[in-house]
Amino acid sequence: MVEDDMLALKALYGFAKNGPREEKIPLEDTIAGAAIFQKKPIAIKDIRKEKKYNFSKSHEGLVSLLAMPIFWKEKALGVIQLYTLQEHVFVEKEVKLVQYLAAPLIGLAVKYAKINNRRLLALLEVSKALSSKSDLEDMFETIVDRAAHVLGIKRCALFLLSEIGDKICLEAGFPKCDHGIGLERELREYPAVREVIESQNWLLIENPQSHELTRDSAALSRTYGINAILFVPLVFERKILGAFTFDATGNKKTFLPQEIGVCRIMANISSAAIARAREQERFQKEMTAKNRMEILGKAAADIAHEIRNPLTSIGGFARRILKKADDPQKVLEYGNIIVKETDRLEQIVGEVLEYSRQKELNLVRANLNNLIHETVKLLEIVFSDKRITVLLNLAEETVEMQLDAVKIKSVLTNILRNAVEALSENVGEKQIWIETHQTKTHVELVIKNNISAPLSQEILENMFNPFFTTKANGTGLGLAIVDSVIRLHKGYIKVDHDGQKIAFNIRLPR
């Protein structure tokens, strides 16, 4: 903090016991002083190379620095210095977070020096708690709950302004049961809130039952014994977000200047946190939309590629038939190829349609063991032709659960067909093991088979991605369908691989 044209060290966090102990340092020729004189934050990528930095033994291990000046009504109060242990470039959002959270908090705390330590520590805890939250609804509840705790009051509410600015919505209130959470009204219906939003300044109304700006809510004030209401605007980067209301009830008749300072700190912390969460939410939506378009574009290209191959073959051999129409043997040969390629085309279209329909489940009470037996029976001829042995080790008790029987049979079929194709390359023992286990909360299904060679990392990382395949005639949708169905059932699937066997481990909730 600034004292007699010097900077006096007041607090440390994260330093060892032998950390900096200089009582005072000069403003001139220091980074902290430069931040104050320039009235703006200064970021240093590597303080070890900075001439102005007084690098002492106590600073060993520190690399990057952000010096944030603290002002209160144009008066320099001091500097917050943040350090990192690795080289770091402070981006604009990080600088603004400090600028709109920590600096104003300390500035107001100094201005209202009578704020007791309990409240100041509580405010720091609020700041810490909000910085870790990104869900807006959860954040709103945390804000009003902590505000009531810090101030020791029984009622407060958080209002947010609509994008257009003509409506106000009650996003959170304490206690929750006494507020119409989610209620949206025209801004003009709340004269006091409108006054605060338009002026961007706080407003204290004592005797709200008779005041002209709160007369419409006089019945509410009488019901809850509200003696005074403090309205504080929520502002971030000069943009008004909404307003905080704090009620003085019971024996509390009004808000003292120190308490108003605390409320303003709460509003400042909340504004920055809400703005940050909104920005994250907007960014995530943009990224989701962008990812959807990228996935859609890739899917369209992959589908076009998969369909084009059999269509090219069909077209080519159809033209050959026209040229060899008088040669029955060639017509038969080419006709058979066309039929096979048509079957392949139908398979591709069928799997694409099946994958696209993995959106909703038709849940019924079904026995997983029975579905396994049915699926193995359906593939019995395939197993026999390939000389594959299927070994079952199913839970003795009935494995009943809520599931989509049709889709789970599709999962079993796709994994087993995948196993059959893998075992076709084996010259030795060809076996498939199927196991089920259950607990009170979930059922585990394991399907494993021999493999002829270890799988590459690329295959293991991409096997559930749509259209990824290593097969000459594969669509790459079989395991993508499996993954989609398991996710819809709120379960998960993982692959274990030891170079000799591959195991699909599926867990489904009961």
pLDDT tens per residue across span 195-238: 999 999 999 999 898 899 988 888 888 888 999 999 999 988 78
Are 248 and 92 in contact by the 8 Å Cβ rule? The answer is no
Residue with tokens 């004269």: 191
Of these ranges, 10-14, 91-95, 121-125, 466-470, the one predicted with the greatest mean pLDDT is: 91-95
Domains of the chain by residue range: 1-90, 285-356, 364-509
CB-based contact 493:414 (threshold 8 Å): no
Is residue 21 scored above 70 in pLDDT? no
More confident residue, 12 or 374: 374
> Please, what is the Cα angle at 408 between 403 and 413, to 5 degrees?
170
Whole-Å CA distances, 17 to 14, 23, 190, 400: 9, 15, 54, 61
CA angle 270, 271, 274 (to 5 degrees): 80
Q: Is the pLDDT of residue 257 over 90?
A: no
* Sequential DSSP letters for 421-489: HHHTT-SS--EEEEEEEE-SSEEEEEEEEE-SSPPPHHHHHHTTSTT---STT--S-HHHHHHHHHHHT
**Phi and psi at residue 279, in whole multiples of 5°?**
-65, -40
Q: What is d(CA 311, CA 305) in angstroms, rounded to the nearest whole number?
A: 10
Look-up of token digits 């939250």: 133
- Judge if 1-90 and 285-356 fold alike in CATH terms: no
- Stretch 35-42: mean pLDDT, rounded? 88
Tens digit of pLDDT for each residue in 177-196? 666 777 888 888 889 999 99
**What pLDDT is attached to residue 302?**
63
Collapsing DSSP to helix, strand or coil, 180 comes out as: coil
Cα–Cα distance for residue pair 282/288, rounded to 1 Å:
10
Q: Does domain 285-356 have CATH number 1.10.287.130?
A: yes
- Whether residue 44 is predicted with pLDDT greater than 70 in this model: the reply is yes
398: left (phi over 0), alpha (psi -120 to 50) or beta: beta
**8-state DSSP, 491:** -
Q: E strand or H helix at 70, and its extent?
A: strand 64-72
State the chain's mean pLDDT as an integer: 79
pLDDT of residue 446: 93
Beta strands in 211-350 (DSSP E): 226-236, 239-249
Q: How many beta carbons lie within 10 A of that of residue 145, not counting itself? A: 17
Lookup result for tokens 């494993």: 448
Q: How confident is the model at residue 72 (pLDDT cuts 50, 70, 90)?
A: low
312 sits in which H/E element: helix 257-323
DSSP state of 497: E
CATH number given to 364-509: 3.30.565.10
Distance CA 98, CA 165 (A): 27
Count of other CB atoms within 10 angstroms of residue 206: 14
The alpha helices in 112-256, defined as continuous H runs, are 117-131, 136-151, 191-199, 218-224
Strands 431-438 and 203-206: unpaired
Confidence at residue 114, expressed as pLDDT on a 0 to 100 scale: 44
What is the model's pLDDT at position 120?
54
272-296, pLDDT tens digit by residue? Answer: 778 777 777 777 777 766 666 666 5
What is the rounded CA–CA span in Å between residue 10 and residue 8? 6
Q: Which of 349, 430, 319 has the alpha carbon at shortest distance from 382? A: 430
Higher pLDDT, 359 or 28: 28
DSSP notation for 87-115: -----HHHHHHHHHTHHHHHHHHHHTTTS
Homologous superfamily in CATH for domain 1-90: GAF domain (3.30.450.40)
Q: What is the pLDDT of residue 324?
A: 82
If you ran DSSP here, which 8-state letter would residue 314 be given? H
Categorize the per-residue pLDDT at 113 as very low, low, confident or very high, splitting at 50, 70 and 90.
Answer: very low
Residue 26: its H or E element: strand 24-26
- pLDDT greater at residue 322 or residue 10: 322
